[in-house]
Amino acid sequence: MPRERAVPPRIPRGPCAPPPAPPLDEIDLAVLALLVDDGRMPNAEIARRVGIPESTCAGRVRSLLASKVVRGIHAELDLASVGRPMEAMIALQFTGHARAGMDAVRARIGQVPGVIAAYHVAGHTDFLVHVCAASADELRNLVLDHLTSLAGVAHAETSLVFERIEGGHPWDPAAARRGGAAPRR
């Protein structure tokens, strides 16, 4: 019997989210500020700057990773440099919204080659899917073979990305120290 793929966990938000965990303390905030600035900073340097022992710092970083406050430390690629110069946002609308159907879509979208990220959203659109491709033909095939073929898709609209404008980091360490820190998850 074939093994079923696990549905990726949902990140609860809004009124249905679980109660908040204890807030981040000053040490957590200081460690986070340094990691946001330079995710490759060595543990010894973080510990020195925060003023805590290296073992304590390593434990804090492990805890921040385990609790998903830090969701990853990774390299961000220039997609054109690795042969994927085309980016697009595909808006998907579905005919129904049964949980089983949406969970199946969530599980499948994450496996589609070329998907950078997908967002289950409220409004006229049900999912926004950010993709990259090597060419217009590959983009067309990705949409037709992998996205519009999903069960329940009523409409798909592809918008090409002409330019990606990077924002600053959405988290302000100084504001967090004044009481605006997000709770631990």
Residue 24 scores a pLDDT above 90: no
Q: Specify whether 70 is located in the same domain as 97.
A: no
CATH code of 112's domain? 3.30.70.920
What would the two tokens of residue 172 be? 């302000």
| Token duo for residue 176 | 């967090």
Which of 50, 14, 8 has its CA nearest to residue 31? 50
Q: What's the total number of domains in the chain?
A: 2
| Overall average pLDDT of the 127-141 stretch | 96
Q: Partners of 77 in the beta sheet? A: none
Predicted confidence (pLDDT) per residue in 157-182, tens digit:
999 999 988 877 777 777 766 665 44
Strand segments, DSSP code E, in the chain are: 86-94, 115-120, 127-133, 153-160
- CA distance linking residue 92 with residue 124, whole number of Å: 9
Kindly tell me if the per-residue pLDDT of 22 is higher than 70: no
The tens digit of pLDDT for each residue in 40-77 reads: 999 999 999 999 999 999 999 999 999 899 988 888 88
Same domain, 85 and 153: yes
Provide the pLDDT confidence category of residue 136 given band limits of 50, 70 and 90. very high
Residue 123 sits in which domain range? 79-160
Note whether 60 and 96 are same-domain residues. no
User: What pLDDT score does 9 carry?
Assistant: 55
> Is there a single domain that holds both residue 91 and residue 148?
yes
- Whether residue 15 lies inside any domain: the answer is no
Q: How many CA atoms lie less than 13 Å away from 83 in the CB half-sphere?
A: 1
CA distance 146 to 104: 13
